Each structure stands twice: as C-alpha cells, then as structure tokens.
Structure 1
Amino acid sequence: MTAMAIGESLMDDRGELEGMFDDEELEEIRRAREEWEAETLEPAIERHGERTDRFATVSNLEVDRLYTPEDVSGLDYGEDLGFPGEEPYTRGVYPTMYRGRTWTMRQFAGFGTAEETNERFHYLIENGQTGLSTAFDMPSLMGIDSDDPMADGEVGKEGVAVDTLRDMEILFEGIDVGEVSTSFTINPSAAVIYAMYIAIADQQGVPREELRGTLQNDMLKEFIAQKEWVMPPEPSLDLVTDVIEFSAEKTPKFNPISISGYHIREAGSTAVQELAFTLADGFAYVEDGIDRGLDVDEFAPQLSFFFNSHNSIFEEVAKFRAARRIYARVMDEWYDAEDPASKRLKFHTQTAGQSLTAQQPLNNVVRVTIQALAGVLGGTQSLHTNSYDEALALPSEQSVRVALRTQQIIAEESGAADIVDPLGGSYAVEALTDEVEGKAMAYIEEIREMGDGSVRDGVLSGIEQGYFHREIQDAAYEYQERVEAGEETVVGVNAYELEEDTRPEILEVDETVQRRQRDRLESVKRERDEEAVEAALSELEEVVAAGENAMPAIVDAVKAYATMGEIMHVFEQQHGSYQETAGVAY
C-alpha cells in the first residue's frame, strides 16, 4: 500500500484526515501519563531534582521531558511521513538510502599553491575519500588576482590560490574529472571557477554532460551572512542564474548551486533561521529561473543545498527532515513542479565549525562525531567532517585523516547506515520536526509578504533592509549571553577548563607561497596570446552589457588564460560595486 493510500484509509466519514491515534486511545494515554507523573515522576523529582529548570537545544528551542503520542496526535502518516523515496520525502529522498551506498565523504582541501593542494587531493583519495571539496584563498573568493595589492598577505592562506586556468590544470593533475565528484566552495567568482573546470574536462576529453560535482555559487547567503561580493545583489543573482541555465543544458549531472545555510548558522543563527533563510534563498533562485523563461522541471533537479550540523542531535535531525517536507510541498504547491526530482531536497552537510574550540582541541573529535551522526540520521547525501585543529589553523594531514575516519567508522561500524530514517516514528523527533517546520514556514511566509507574494523580491528586500542581519545578530547575541551566564555549557571553555597548553602541532602555510604564485601568474601573462585575451574580454563585456548569458564567453576567456581578476573586473565595471547599508533602524 502506498503512503497516499494509507492517507486515504485514514479518512473519516467526512473525508477529513485523522491522526494515527483515535481519541479514545489518546485519552487512555493521557490518563496513564498523568498517573505516571503523580505516582512515579513527582516523587523522583522531590528526592533527586533535575539538572536545571529548563532544558533547551543549542538554538534555545525548549524541549519537553517526555514525548508521547499526544505530541504527535495530528500526524498523518501518508501526508506527513510517507516512505523513503516518495513524497513528501520526510523519511529520505531515496528508497534504500545508505543501504544502497553510503553518503559521499568529502574533506575540505585547499591551501598554498595548486601543487600543494593537488598533493592533498591525492592523499585523501588514497585514504578512501569519495569526493573532492575545494577551498579557495580570499583573493580567489573575492575575484582578484594574487598580484593585486589587496591580495598581499592573503595568497594561499585560507585556501588554494587560483588565478588562471594554469592553476586549475595543476590542481587536477593526475585526477580524472570524469571519475570524481568535485565540490567548489566559492561564490562571487564561482562562474569563473566553473568555467575553468569545464575547460579542464574539455582538455581531458571528458564529455561535459558527464561532469559531476557542486558549485556553491550562492550569492544571496553572501549578502545575508558571509559578506563576500563583487557586484550588487540583483546582478549577482543574474550571474547565478546564468550558471544554472547553462548547466541545465551543458552539464546536467553537475549541481550549479549549493544553496547554503551553513554560513548563516556559522554567523550565529538558530537552526530554524538557518532552515528558513536557506529555503527562502532556494525559492528565490527557483523564481528567478522561472522568470528567465526556464521550465522549473528543467533546472530544479540540479539544485542542491548545504546545511550545518550542530550539537543538539535531535534538533538537527528534525531540521533535516522538516527541510525535505517543506521543500517538496512548496515546489509542488507554489511552483507547479511535476518531476519528482524537482521536489527532492538533496543536501550536503558540514559539521559546525563555530562549535570548535581552541581550548582542548581533541574534544572537537567528539563534537564532530555527534554532529556527523546527526547528519547521517537526518539523511544527508554528502558529508564533511571538520578537523579537530580547525579552530587554530588549516587542518593538518593527521587531523584530516581522523575526520575522514570518523565518517568511515559511522558508516562501517556503527550500524547507523543500516536503517532508513532510524529515528522516524520517535515521538520526540516527530514532534520536533513539526515544530521546526511550523516555525520555519512562518519565517518563509513573512519573507514572501515582504516581497508582495514573491520570495525572491522578499529576500532582496530583506537584504537591503538589514532584516536577515538583525535576526541573526539577535540570535547570536542571545546565545553568547547564555554562554557567559553559564546557562550554555561549552566543555573546556566555561566548564572543565585546564591550565596546561593543549595546542597540537598545526599546519603553517609557507611564506614563500605568495612569491611562487605571483611568479607563475607573471609567467602565464608573459606566455599567453594577448590578442586572444583582449578579444575574449571584449566579447565578455559585450555579452554582459547586452544582458545575455555570460557563461559561454567566460569559458572562452579562461581558455585564453584571462585571469580571475580580469574577468571579474568586467562585471564590476558594468554593474558597479556594492556597499552594505549601514545603520538600518531596528
């Protein structure tokens, strides 16, 4: 019997959906609970008490002592849960989930020059990693070259430096891009990195339609949380949609965007805010694609999401399950998606960097394990586990190996991957899923109202008005107050402190990286065909001015070895730069 048929079988005589428990059963449970409270619970509390008067998640969502069928009395199995691989996908987007194959295991890699990061890539692949995840340095993220005065002191420090296609060629030397899935964490200049990856595929003879991977390319969350941009919001959104449109036609197995709540959470949001603002951004991109003239079922299956997994394990599992349910319903009801793939929310998860402590860093191994387990129990498609030393520096080889082994132990030893949606049906998890869903939808509806019925216009309006900034700032401030008051325990920071130095050996980026990278860039500029570069950049300028899809021209420009900075300068010249509105009234 399908989930829909189950839902129909639970209809009462009036055609209304009934819950999973009838009134008589609920009344019996209610009486039994009251009896338990009076005869068993209250005497125990009088004798021993409880640790605190209030129990809450890291997001300050209060949780009850006990959950029973009363807390899920309105739950309809067919409508609200269903089966894995079927709408509303609450229980997972695939029927067998990890019994078929485990999630993709990714570890962030990127530091110094392309040669050093290529070496780390090979190390991770040899140790069992199943997907590559690339971090870029700040100049690359901001669309400037390593020889720009603003890049001084930042080259190769936060990730790998990529100025031209030459760097990308070295980065993927000895790696068949047709065999590996690669994730790129980059936003303002994401279109350029995507074009370089396409050029690498063309060089290797890999058909573009076989390319697999994910481009972060989420500019809305940049304006909301991470604060890296080149152009104002609207032209930035246009370039994102250029990539989505181009990818739908040319690289159908590649995810052209990873709509990211991770950085929203890292900025201090609650789990509910992370979920709501991320889904709102996703719906904004959907609306922009539709307005571009694309059929929703042409591009929506390629959209992917990226969530944070924090310490409160049940809140996180509820968040992931609620995300799938909201997305399936909204894509169906608001955007008329028909292809089931357009309604399946697929997501990558990264453990919470913000939770890592410089004090007693080995404690971070335990934090990361709990957070990774939450991602697995919540049904993630891909997982990055942070390294225990990341609060101090870029991760060392040893810490990266421990982080990867954490995933492998969860997958191969814990049994967590053997049952689909193992916490489904838990009164606590189902009640929390409903609560998170309701609170997140309230936010999404508020954003939609800000845009007079358009989520996209609501998000853009919220950015300009400082709405998201204020919401996140307030949540972050309240959390820090609880930590400082001792209401929120951070082991090793405000409890169980140690006097001795517990810092491990950390990775240090060689100070010669900047010189070596600048030397290579100078060499590329000296050896390239300047007439071809000028022609490619002129063509790009004409395309941008005409409002046409810029991706084909960007691909031609990178193949001519135009630099990241030269390409992004074309967009900045055309659209201007952006300065965030300051002093927005509360």
Structure 2
Amino acid sequence: MNDTTSLPRKPLYSAADLEGVPWLDARPGEYPYLRGVHATMYTERPWTIRQYSGRADAGVSNLAYRRALEAGAMGLSVAFDLPTHRGYDSDHADIAADVGVAGVAIDSVEDMARLFEGVPLDRVSVSMTMSGAVLPVLAAYIVAAQEAGVSAAQLRGTVQNDILKEFMVRNTYIFAPEPSMRIATDVVRYVMEHMPHFNAMSISGYHIQEAGADGVLELALTLANASEYVRRLVGAGVDADRACRQLSFFFAVGRDFYGEVAKLRAARVLWAELARSFGARDPRAMQLRMHCQTAGSTLTARRAQNNIVRTTVEAMAAVFGGTQSLHTNAWDEALSLPGEDAATLARDTQLILQHETGLCDVVDPWAGSYLIEALTARTADAVREMLAQIAAQGGVIAAVESGWVEARVHEGAARIQAQTDSGERAVIGVNRFQVPHDDESESLDVDARRIHSLQADRLRRLRANRDPQRVRAALERLAEVARSGEGNLLAATIDAMRARATVGECTSALEQVWPRWSAPVRADRRAWAQARASDAAWEAAKDAVAKWRRSRGRTPRIVLLKLGQDGHDRGVRVVAAALADAGFETEIGPLFVTPGQAAQWATSRSPDVVGVSTLAGAHLSLVPALIDALRATDIDAPVVVGGIVPRADHARLMAHGVAAQFGPDTPLDSIVRKLLSVTRHETNAPA
C-alpha cells in the first residue's frame, strides 16, 4: 500500500477490475456526471484560473487583483485577514498584530469599494473565502457594488459560507453551531431571491484535508456538511432544486495523484445521488461544480523550490478530475507569505497547462482506465460507508459535538507526520535525497502596525461622517432579527452596512443575542503512539525524556500556545500528541488570546517550556509581546517557536529571547531532544 493513499492499491489493473463498476458508459454532461458536468468540458472553455490572494489594506490588494486580471487570471478569490474572519474591526485593541497580515483588512463598505475599484463586478467572478463574518462582509460587497452601479442581480461568484467545517478544523467561527447555521441558511435564502448568478455556499473539503484527513474522509465530511445544509433549507420550505443549485464545492488536491483524480470523479456521482435523494430533478441541481486548490500541507520549507513540481502535479490531478476552477499555491508558502514572483509563477503554471500541454483537448482522458474507474467506484463506496457511520451518530453536527470528527482528522494528521519523520512517507529533500541547501525566498512582509494605524484612521473618519442615529437603529434592528427569528439576517445586515456600520459593529450587535463561542483544543497521544510504534529514533527520544525525568524526579512540563487570531491548530495538536507520548506533561492553551492573556494562562501551569505555534505571519509582534509578559511574572521558562517563520526573522526572535525555532519540516524526535536541552538553559545552541 502506498503511504499517501486512503485505499489500498495493487501494481497491476486489468479488465477484471471493472466487473461490477457502474457508469462505465456514462457520458460527460449527463447524470451522474462522472465524466464532467459539461458535455464539452475544457475543449470549449478551460477551467477558471482563480488565484487566492489578499494582504495589507484594500488599496494594496486592489493593485494585485488588477495585475492578476491583466496577466491572465479569469476570476478573483479574496483572502481576508484573520480579524475580519472573526468579526473584529481593525482598531480593536486585541487584534492589532494580525491586521492585514494573512489577508486583506476589510472593516466597511468604503474598504470593499477600494478593494474592487476598477474591477468590472458585473463581468468578473469573485470568490470570497468567508464564513464566520459572512453577514457583514457579503453585505459590504453587495452595497459597494450597488453604489458603483452594479446590482446584486448582476454579481457573479461565490461566498464560502460553510460554517460547519470551521467547527471541524479551521476555527474561524464566531458564534455557536446553531446560530451559525441560522446565519448560513439566511445567506442562502437571500442570495436565492436576489442574486441569480451567485453561489451562496462553497462547501469546503480543502481545510479538512489540510487538517489531516485523507481523500475519503475529506469527501465524506464535505458531503455530510452539504447534506445538513440542504436538509435545513428544505425543512424550511425551500425547493430542493433551488437549494442544491446554490451550492458549489471546494476540494484540496494533494500528492496522491490517482486517488485525487478518482476522488473528484466520485464526488460528482455521490452528489448527484444525494441531490436526487433530496428531491432535486433539475440537472443543474445535481451537477457538482467545484473549485480546487493544490495542497498547502505538501509544501516543504527545505528544498522549497521542489514545491514547484509538487504543485504542478497536483494541478494536473485537479484538471484530470474535472475541476471548474483552480488555485495553484506559490512555491515559497512554507517559508513566508508568498512573494510576487512566486505567485506569478503559480499562475503561469496554470496558463502553461492550458495552452502548452494539450490537456484541454480531450474530455475526461482517464475514462475507461482500469485503475481510475475501479478506484473511483471504490472511493464512492468507501465514502458511502462513512456517510452511513455519520448518519448513525445522529448526523454531522452530532459527530462534531461527540469529538468523532476531531479524532478522525487528528489521527490522520499524526499518522502523516509520523510517517514523514520515520521516512516511510518519502519527501524529497526533507527525508530522502537531502542536499545541504539554504532556501531563500522573496519574503513578502506586511507591516501590521502601519495597516492597523491606517485602518483605525479610516474608521475614525467613517464614524465621524455618518448618521449615528441611523446606524444605531439599523444595528438594533439586526439584533432584533437575530433575537426574534423573524426576518432575514443578511437583509438586515445590508441595511446596517449601507448606513455605514462596520464589520465589528454588526458582529457586536449579534453578540448581544449570541455570545462568542469557543471550544478547547485537544490532542490524543494515542494518535501519535500508534503511528510511531517500534520506531528506533522515536524510542530513543522517549528514553531521553525518561532520563530527564529520573534526574529531576518529575515529568517535564510544556504548554503550547496559539497567539492572536490564528486558529489553524493541526500542527500544535500533532506536536502536543507526540510530546505526550514521549513523556512530557502537555497542555494546549485556548485559541484567540492576546500575548498577555496567554502569559497569564501559561504562568498558572508552571511550565518548564513555553511553545508557540505560528502560521499567520504575526510572530514578530506576538512572540516578543508574550516573552515580555512572561518576564513580568515569576516564571522563567524558555520560549520556543514552531511553524512558518521566514529565515530573515529568526535572528530577531532569538535576540528577543526565543530559545529555539523549529521549521515545519523538523522531525518530532529532534524537537524532543532540543526541548530537553533548553530546559537545562542551554539556550545558545543553534536551532
């Protein structure tokens, strides 16, 4: 069995493997859409090149969008910063370090207007990756377009609006599951009535795979989420055809080439079956339309230019699977925010595939393949079995609340990391065929303090020039719609944003009815132990911890933290599970905390080491602030940092007192040995 796969493979396939495989005579554009949702697929129109981007403020991102359109992009995909995802205005005291860093900061209609200045919104398709703060962000987009002369009915594109996957993996939620589902379904109902060319939901498997799921689990959870949304809409009286037509899908395409091709083909068959089971009969309702993105989790910091090859192969799998649009990752994203040259190369990769390779000349070239057809059918069967397991638990929300989803995804992430550390899972340049090489990239830094100051000034001017009574009345109306259950939340939010309320103010109005929701971050040492059993290097690491424990008479204690608004917790959970298995006493802190709050929480645990996991680019502000806050306490524990930190920032963090730094490719046994050394205050050793 290939270690990258979720289903076993064999070295030779023949006609015998096609016995009992359904839909072999299917034609593209016909039920169940195995071979594609359109009869001609790319032969008449290639997939849409839709690069996900956004940074700093609206003006900076607008320039990038216009350049991308001039260079061949056919649609825009907006990356919002973490404070916007979490419904905070940029001048909120607790989120300054994250403003504009991992996406563009949007606080108001004025910001949205600047973001799309000069972009013909009646012709350019816009995708917005937004779920938590979907109400004020989508409302700002609609109002900005209307004020530019483009009606809501003319807008084309998609808003993600997939809150269930936030509770599973990504954590950019704001409210508890039930009110969040109310928000999501109100958005769908508004879009159905007023925006005929717009998709009200993009059900995301991408983040599920990125968190550690294999292709079968990714597809099963994605379809389970979609089914829950449709059930809610149909139960509220929405016609099944109209409900299903509103949905599109978003998948990751990783390194399992054949498996990913089969997964995307199986996805169309399964969705056609599910939509029909809900009562859909319109072909458009049964056609699974998808966007794909190459996997971020397969990118490596060592020998980072190898990522160009990885991304190209993943992009080909998405094309062979029949995607409608595609984002290709930049090669340097494991090192820092992507540089302009790397982002341009990522886009050019798609243009080369479209115009130089002949991939668009044939519809579904893998049709009839012994391997692909058999694997497609087996993938569909495995997903059906997993959907039955989810249904047996009472549905997908119950499976989330019970911890079943979290455990399955966490187990996958631990297995992948363990296989990589042991060398079972080959990663060229990292654990196979290593060559000494210092990777450098054109790091694209964002000055969060400057963007925070600019946005705060814009907010001051906005509040000074608006009608405060009109704003207050609109926000009170929004809160009343939430409280009473009568009326549409998006319609009420549009009125509030038109009155010049802000993203944060709309969120605060809803918080009067639905308090912010939080969930603990958990890790299971068994997930790591099962994956690394009987591995010599890992046993040696555990022996080193046991020796430390015997010499000190107690167990080494580490607390692991996420700072700011970064909710990506795959790495910190895997590290916590591994360190617990190694013999550390391990605890993960709460998400979405300030450095001061994190220091207070960590101090109460009396740790030997404080670990920080960082992925969102705000490390130069948040980590020094944490160290300063810890220094003000009685705890003298060294601070270590793991995650994505550009090489240029290493010295600055070390100068401020960071004891060790671990890149995303660092094996866990190496991390264990280094942690033991820093607990002896040997903090001058190189990381």
What's the TM-score once normalised by structure 1's chain length? 0.87
2:311 is the counterpart of 1:372: no
2:76 pairs with 132, 145, 168, which one? 132
Once the two structures are superposed, the pairs formed by residues 341-360 of structure 1 within 5 Å of their partners are 341-360=284-303
1:147 aligned partner: 91
Q: What displacement does 1:485 show?
A: 1.6
1:462 aligned partner: 399
Query: Are 1:466 and 1:581, in contact at CA under 8 Å, matched by a contact in 2?
Result: no
2:450 is the counterpart of 1:504: no
| CA distance, structure 1, for counterparts of residue 187 and residue 485 of structure 2 | 14
2:432 pairs with 490, 495, 513, which one? 495
Given residue 236 of structure 2, which amino acid in structure 1 is its aligned partner?
R
Given residue 75 of structure 1, which amino acid in structure 2 is its aligned partner?
V
2:177 is the counterpart of 1:226: no
Q: What displacement does 1:582 show?
A: 6.6
Q: What displacement does 1:572 show?
A: 2.1
Given residue 542 of structure 1, which amino acid in structure 2 is its aligned partner?
E
Q: Secondary structure at the match of 1:431?
A: helix
| CA distance, structure 1, for counterparts of residue 22 and residue 476 of structure 2 | 59
Q: What displacement does 1:363 show?
A: 0.8
Given residue 466 of structure 1, which amino acid in structure 2 is its aligned partner?
G
2:326 is the counterpart of 1:383: yes
2:5 pairs with 55, 59, 77, which one? 59
| CA distance, structure 2, for counterparts of residue 450 and residue 130 of structure 1 | 42
Classify 1:583/1:136 alpha carbon distance in 2 versus 1 (closer, same or farther; 3 Å): closer
Once the two structures are superposed, the pairs formed by residues 62-141 of structure 1 within 5 Å of their partners are 62-77=8-23, 82-141=26-85
Query: Are 1:133 and 1:185, in contact at CA under 8 Å, matched by a contact in 2?
Result: yes
Query: Are 1:146 and 1:514, in contact at CA under 8 Å, matched by a contact in 2?
Result: yes
2:483 is the counterpart of 1:539: no
Given residue 394 of structure 1, which amino acid in structure 2 is its aligned partner?
L
| CA distance, structure 1, for counterparts of residue 41 and residue 255 of structure 2 | 23
Once the two structures are superposed, the pairs formed by residues 8-27 of structure 1 within 5 Å of their partners are none
1:20 aligned partner: none
| CA distance, structure 2, for counterparts of residue 207 and residue 62 of structure 1 | 51
Given residue 507 of structure 1, which amino acid in structure 2 is its aligned partner?
L
1:256 pairs with 188, 193, 200, which one? 200
Segments of structure 2 that go 5 or more residues without pairing to the other structure are 527-687
| CA distance, structure 1, for counterparts of residue 484 and residue 105 of structure 2 | 31
Q: What displacement does 1:530 show?
A: 1.0
| CA distance, structure 2, for counterparts of residue 508 and residue 581 of structure 1 | 31
Q: Secondary structure at the match of 2:98?
A: coil
2:510 pairs with 571, 577, 585, which one? 571
2:132 is the counterpart of 1:193: no
Classify 1:324/1:81 alpha carbon distance in 2 versus 1 (closer, same or farther; 3 Å): farther
1:299 pairs with 229, 240, 243, which one? 243
1:522 aligned partner: 460
Given residue 455 of structure 2, which amino acid in structure 1 is its aligned partner?
Q
2:550 aligned partner: none
Q: Secondary structure at the match of 1:402?
A: helix
Query: Are 2:303 and 2:437, in contact at CA under 8 Å, matched by a contact in 1?
Result: no
What's the C-alpha RMSD, in Å, of the aligned pairs? Answer: 1.4
1:417 aligned partner: 360
| CA distance, structure 1, for counterparts of residue 256 and residue 521 of structure 2 | 34
Q: What displacement does 1:415 show?
A: 1.0
2:265 is the counterpart of 1:327: no
Query: Are 2:253 and 2:260, in contact at CA under 8 Å, matched by a contact in 1?
Result: yes
Query: Are 1:191 and 1:217, in contact at CA under 8 Å, matched by a contact in 2?
Result: no
Q: What displacement does 1:81 show?
A: 5.1
Q: What displacement does 1:497 show?
A: 2.0
1:479 aligned partner: 416
1:212 pairs with 112, 137, 156, which one? 156
2:334 is the counterpart of 1:395: no
- % identity of equivalent residues: 41
Q: What displacement does 1:83 show?
A: 0.5
1:443 aligned partner: 386
Q: What displacement does 1:500 show?
A: 2.7
1:557 pairs with 496, 519, 540, which one? 496
1:255-303 Cα shifts (integer Å, max 9, x gaps): 1111000000000111110010001101111101111110111221121
| CA distance, structure 2, for counterparts of residue 353 and residue 269 of structure 1 | 13
| CA distance, structure 2, for counterparts of residue 465 and residue 229 of structure 1 | 18
Q: What displacement does 1:462 show?
A: 1.0
Aligned pairs, how many? 523
Query: Are 2:121 and 2:145, in contact at CA under 8 Å, matched by a contact in 1?
Result: yes
Q: What displacement does 1:506 show?
A: 1.1
- Which is worse superposed, 484-493 or 90-99? 484-493
Query: Are 1:362 and 1:388, in contact at CA under 8 Å, matched by a contact in 2?
Result: yes
Q: What displacement does 1:201 show?
A: 2.0
Query: Are 2:90 and 2:452, in contact at CA under 8 Å, matched by a contact in 1?
Result: yes
Q: What displacement does 1:570 show?
A: 1.9
| CA distance, structure 1, for counterparts of residue 197 and residue 359 of structure 2 | 28
Classify 1:88/1:396 alpha carbon distance in 2 versus 1 (closer, same or farther; 3 Å): same
Q: Secondary structure at the match of 2:436?
A: coil
| CA distance, structure 1, for counterparts of residue 25 and residue 297 of structure 2 | 32
1:46 aligned partner: none
Given residue 66 of structure 1, which amino acid in structure 2 is its aligned partner?
L
Classify 1:489/1:583 alpha carbon distance in 2 versus 1 (closer, same or farther; 3 Å): closer
Q: Secondary structure at the match of 2:271?
A: helix
1:454-499 Cα shifts (integer Å, max 9, x gaps): xxxx111111111110000111111212111211101111112232
Q: What displacement does 1:243 show?
A: 0.4
Q: Secondary structure at the match of 2:78?
A: strand
Once the two structures are superposed, the pairs formed by residues 150-165 of structure 1 within 5 Å of their partners are 150-165=94-109
- Which is worse superposed, 278-287 or 192-201? 192-201
Query: Are 2:86 and 2:132, in contact at CA under 8 Å, matched by a contact in 1?
Result: yes
Query: Are 1:176 and 1:204, in contact at CA under 8 Å, matched by a contact in 2?
Result: no
2:350 pairs with 395, 407, 422, which one? 407
Query: Are 1:181 and 1:212, in contact at CA under 8 Å, matched by a contact in 2?
Result: yes
Q: What displacement does 1:63 show?
A: 1.1
Q: What displacement does 1:573 show?
A: 1.9
Q: Secondary structure at the match of 1:228?
A: coil
| CA distance, structure 1, for counterparts of residue 441 and residue 56 of structure 2 | 21
Given residue 485 of structure 2, which amino acid in structure 1 is its aligned partner?
G
- Which is worse superposed, 516-525 or 572-581? 572-581
1:237-258 Cα shifts (integer Å, max 9, x gaps): 1100000000011001101111
Higher RCO, 1 vs 2 (CA within 8 Å, ≥6 residues apart): 1
1:35 aligned partner: none
| CA distance, structure 1, for counterparts of residue 523 and residue 511 of structure 2 | 25
Q: Secondary structure at the match of 1:362?
A: helix
Classify 1:475/1:433 alpha carbon distance in 2 versus 1 (closer, same or farther; 3 Å): same
1:364-415 Cα shifts (integer Å, max 9, x gaps): 1111100000000000001000011111222221111101110011111111
| CA distance, structure 2, for counterparts of residue 358 and residue 126 of structure 1 | 30
1:10 aligned partner: none
| CA distance, structure 2, for counterparts of residue 149 and residue 438 of structure 1 | 50
Q: What displacement does 1:584 show?
A: 10
2:257 aligned partner: 313
Query: Are 2:113 and 2:145, in contact at CA under 8 Å, matched by a contact in 1?
Result: no
| CA distance, structure 2, for counterparts of residue 356 and residue 581 of structure 1 | 28
Given residue 488 of structure 1, which amino acid in structure 2 is its aligned partner?
R
Query: Are 1:57 and 1:63, in contact at CA under 8 Å, matched by a contact in 2?
Result: no
Q: What displacement does 1:305 show?
A: 0.3
